[in-house]
Amino acid sequence: MSNSKYELKPIEKKPLSLKISDSIYGYIQMNGLQPGDKLPSEREMSTMLQASRNSVREALRILEDRDLIEVRTGLGVFIKNPYGENSTFSIRLHNCTMEEIQELQSTLDHQAVKNAIERASVVEKKQLLSIASEMVKLSLEGIYSHILDHDFHHILYESGNNSAILQLVVKIREDRFVQQENSENGNDKIWLKTVPHHLQLAEAIMKCNLNSAISIIDEINEYGFQFSRSKRCSNRTM
């Protein structure tokens, strides 16, 4: 087991497998685990989460179905590379303001939406609708899932067939995930407000309505950055 600073925490019991998969996903992001890194054993995760090994195993199946992890019989559970980063090109940004990062993400997202409308298959567009519909259904019970949100945006970016946009915007989103997870409010139900927008975005993409799709994804991003700004301001006044 790695010397990670972020620990898995006990969670609510409903819906158990989805909540456990979200918790493990958060553990992966918060600890910056990379492809090939090994997760704690089922027994260790069961103890940390205070959940049965069967429930942990079911959650791992969800993550495996999402292609986020790989279960190797007799060896354990390992992180996969879900973004297909096979290029030797890399980039690191320094001393960027939140406003600059938001502008960069908006530019990338606008092109990603355009690419999805023009290049995504009907199957991929239907997947977006299906995932967004599932998110809405869960939201009516007050449930938000990082895994479903991850799936939605990954399909959106991947369907545009531009791996550079995919990798850059995913990195920005994951960095923001860690920032919000470090906040006192966590990174869960605060996102319920954005769930209907995901369904509207999927519908706009299906209808090839570029202006509407860009407007909707701007709303999703603005909410996230607005929350980040409010947390930054409140931390400064403490």
Quick: pLDDT tens for 36-67: 999 999 999 999 999 999 999 999 998 988 88
Residues in the chain with pLDDT values less than 50 = 13, 82-89, 182-186, 234-235, 237-238
Q: Is the dihedral of CA 129, 135, 139, 141 positive or negative?
A: positive
**What is the predicted pLDDT for the residue at 181?**
55
Query: Which residues are CB-neighbours of 176 under 8 A, at least 6 positions away?
Result: 224, 228
**What is the predicted pLDDT for the residue at 88?**
44
DSSP structural state of residue 95? S
**What is the predicted pLDDT for the residue at 85?**
44
Q: Is the pTM of this model over 0.85?
A: no
The owner of tokens 């309505």 is 209
Angle separating helix axes 42-49 and 53-65, nearest 10 degrees: 110
Distance (Å, rounded) from C-alpha 205 to C-alpha 76? 39
Exposure class string for 40-66: b at 16+ Cβ within 10 A, else e: bebeebbebbebeeebbbbbbebbeeb
